[in-house]
């Protein structure tokens, strides 16, 4: 094993729509890590433009990160929406190509204090014996399965259906098991197998319940109270905290809407944490005169409200009208 292979590795995959959350994820990982690590970023079908590749490479160099971007070709179409695109299949190419175990994370995460202990956990796991993937099992499985009775991935995985946003990946075992030759065939049967969650369903169907569970301290979905405080927070769901305008009233409206629609008080705390990291990143970039500030911020200021349905749009407008007089309270700071 070369020195490079022995360096802890964080694997990720995005397209141009996720440049800002990726930058924040990398920033939070760097400032909260006590060790060196490298980042392998999969670029699927040129989903990351040359301009944004340069921006991310400059950003990584500026903050002392080792970032390697590799190009891959997905030779079939996949169903996609505003949240999921071909970029999500980058995790398969990382599993196919990396020669040592690594940590995979979606771009919409915050790496908080102590997150890099997961590298020690994965090293211990590798010494203990044979394993393939380690991830967190999804919450509310009975309800989710009843809502997707035809999803063959959920049927195959059963009570071990896992969330693929954060995984410990044993790529040598993956390659030895010839999964590199299997996943494309499964993915091409997406519709006939009743899949709904794209790359995540493909993984669950292939692994069929043979998954190790990550310790609670390493992975928690934003807003959940299921786990104790965790060192890696995943921003799952339609409503993203980075797509909110800067003003306090916009943030306050977002929080009220989010809680009334789906989330609990935990979401408020986690959204505030996300914005805290955003403020810190923007300040650090500006203080150091990082030349790519405007480019990155251009990817950040997208308002999520237009993608909501008519009922939620109406609720948003009503909440914004009611809360406008409270914006001077400044209690979000």
Q: What is the pLDDT of residue 87?
A: 87
% residues pLDDT > 70 (the chain) = 76
Could you tell me which residues come within 8 angstroms of residue 76 by beta carbon, excluding any fewer than 6 positions away? 184, 187, 188
Asked if residues 167 and 104 have their Cβ atoms less than 8 Å apart, the reply is yes
Q: What is the pLDDT of residue 327?
A: 43
More confident: 177 or 265: 177
How does residue 289 score in pLDDT terms, banded at 50, 70 and 90? confident
Q: Which residues pair with 67 in a beta bridge?
A: 39
Q: What is the pLDDT of residue 331?
A: 40
Indicate the pTM of the whole model: 0.85
Give the best-scoring range by mean pLDDT among 70-84, 138-152, 270-284. Answer: 270-284
Angle between helices 19-31 and 265-287 (to 10 degrees): 80
How does residue 229 score in pLDDT terms, banded at 50, 70 and 90? low
Burial of 310 (0-12, 13-18, 19+ CB in 10 A): exposed
User: What's the rounded mean pLDDT across residues 226-244?
Assistant: 75
Strand 133-137 and strand 232-234: the pairing is: unpaired
Q: What is the pLDDT of residue 261?
A: 45
User: CA-to-CA distance for 254 and 7, rounded, in angstroms?
Assistant: 40
φ, ψ dihedrals at 169, nearest 5°:
-120, 125
Q: What is the pLDDT of residue 20?
A: 93
Helix or strand holding residue 12 (H, E)? strand 9-13
More confident: 110 or 308: 110
**For tokens 């040129």, what's the residue?**
46
Q: What is the pLDDT of residue 101?
A: 94
Burial of 211 (0-12, 13-18, 19+ CB in 10 A): buried
What is the overall mean pLDDT for the chain? 81
pLDDT at 225 over 80: no
- 70: DSSP letter: E
Biggest CA-to-CA distance, the chain: 62
Asked if residues 293 and 238 have their Cβ atoms less than 8 Å apart, the reply is no
Domain 3-221 has CATH 3.20.20.150: no
More confident: 10 or 193: 10
φ, ψ dihedrals at 267, nearest 5°:
-65, -40
3-state class (DSSP) for residue 303: coil
Asked if residues 331 and 272 have their Cβ atoms less than 8 Å apart, the reply is no
What are the sequence ranges of the domains in the chain? 3-221, 240-329
Q: Lowest mean pLDDT of 110-114, 146-150, 246-250, name the range.
A: 246-250
More confident: 121 or 149: 121
Q: What is the pLDDT of residue 302?
A: 55
Asked if residues 215 and 281 have their Cβ atoms less than 8 Å apart, the reply is no
How does residue 171 score in pLDDT terms, banded at 50, 70 and 90? very high
Q: What is the pLDDT of residue 51?
A: 94
Give the best-scoring range by mean pLDDT among 38-52, 65-79, 149-163, 210-224. Answer: 38-52
How does residue 236 score in pLDDT terms, banded at 50, 70 and 90? confident
Residue ranges of the alpha helices (H) in 72-189? 90-97, 117-128, 141-147, 152-157, 171-176, 183-187
pLDDT at 157 over 60: yes
List the structure tokens of 36. 């060196």
φ, ψ dihedrals at 171, nearest 5°:
-60, -35
How does residue 264 score in pLDDT terms, banded at 50, 70 and 90? low
Q: What is the pLDDT of residue 230?
A: 77
Asked if residues 46 and 300 have their Cβ atoms less than 8 Å apart, the reply is no
Q: What is the pLDDT of residue 307?
A: 47
User: What's the rounded mean pLDDT across residues 262-284?
Assistant: 78
How does residue 62 score in pLDDT terms, banded at 50, 70 and 90? very high
User: CA-to-CA distance for 309 and 269, rounded, in angstroms?
Assistant: 25
pLDDT at 198 over 90: no
Q: What is the pLDDT of residues 11-37, one digit of tens each?
A: 999 999 899 999 999 999 999 999 999
Asked if residues 207 and 157 have their Cβ atoms less than 8 Å apart, the reply is yes
């Amino acid at each position: 094993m070369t020195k490079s292979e022995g360096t802890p590795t964080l694997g990720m995959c995005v397209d141009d729509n996720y440049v800002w959350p990726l930058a924040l994820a990398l920033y939070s990982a760097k400032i909260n890590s006590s060790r060196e690590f490298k980042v392998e970023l999969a670029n699927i079908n040129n989903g990351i433009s040359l301009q944004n590749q340069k921006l991310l490479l400059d950003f990584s160099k500026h903050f002392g990160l080792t970032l390697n971007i590799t190009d891959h070709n997905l030779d079939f179409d996949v169903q996609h929406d505003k949240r999921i695109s071909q970029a999500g299949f980058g995790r398969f190419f990382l599993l196919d190509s990396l020669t040592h175990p690594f940590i995979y994370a979606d771009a919409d995460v915050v790496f908080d204090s102590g997150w890099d202990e997961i590298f020690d956990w994965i090293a211990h796991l590798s010494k203990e014996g044979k394993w393939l993937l380690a991830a967190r099992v999804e919450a509310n499985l009975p309800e989710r399965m009843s809502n997707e009775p035809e999803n063959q991935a959920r049927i195959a995985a059963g009570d071990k259906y896992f969330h693929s946003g954060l995984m410990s990946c044993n790529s040598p075992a993956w390659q030895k098991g010839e999964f590199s030759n299997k996943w494309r065939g499964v993915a091409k049967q997406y519709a006939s197998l009743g899949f709904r969650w794209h790359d995540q369903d493909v993984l669950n169907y292939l692994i069929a319940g043979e998954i190790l569970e990550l310790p609670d301290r390493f992975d928690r979905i934003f807003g959940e109270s299921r786990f104790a405080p965790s060192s890696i927070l995943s921003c799952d769901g339609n409503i993203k905290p980075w797509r909110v305008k800067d003003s306090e009233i916009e943030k306050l409206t977002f929080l009220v809407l989010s809680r009334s629609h789906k989330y609990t008080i935990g979401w408020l705390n986690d959204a505030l944490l996300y914005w805290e990291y955003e403020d810190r990143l923007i300040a650090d970039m500006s203080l150091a005169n990082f030349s790519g500030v405007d480019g990155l911020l251009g990817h950040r200021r997208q308002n999520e409200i237009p993608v909501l349905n008519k009922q939620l749009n109406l609720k948003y407008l009503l909440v914004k009208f009611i809360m406008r007089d409270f914006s001077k309270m400044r209690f979000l700071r």
